[in-house]
Amino acid sequence: MELSQIKGIIPPILTPMRPDESLDLEALGAEVERLLAAGVHGIFPLGTNGEGYILSWSEKLQVLETVIHQAKGRVPVYAGTGCISTAETIRLSREAQALGADALSIITPSFALASQQELYDHYAAVAQSVDIPIVLYNIPARTGNKLLPETVARLAKDIDLIAAAKDSSGDWDNLQAYITLTQDLGKDFRVLSGNDSLILKCLKAGGAGGIAGCANVYPHTMVSIYERFQAGDLEGAQTAQDSIASFRAVFQYGNANTVVKKAAALLGAPVGECRRPFCRLSGEGMEALRKVLAENAARGMD
Beta-bridged to residue 222, according to DSSP, are none
Round to whole Å and give the CA distance between 212 and 254: 18
Ramachandran area for residue 79 (φ above 0: left; ψ -120 to 50: alpha; else beta): beta
CA distances from 147 to 122, 154, 166, 167 (A): 12, 11, 10, 9
On whether the CB atoms of residues 180 and 191 are closer than 8 A, the answer is no
On whether the CB atoms of residues 141 and 108 are closer than 8 A, the answer is no
Single out the catalytic residue among 53, 123, 137, 218. Answer: 137
Residues contacting residue 181 through CB under 8 Å, at least 6 positions apart:
149, 150, 152, 153
Single out the catalytic residue among 7, 60, 146, 166. Answer: 166
Known active-site residue 7:
no
Known active-site residue 137:
yes
Ramachandran area for residue 80 (φ above 0: left; ψ -120 to 50: alpha; else beta): beta
Catalytically active residues are: 137, 166
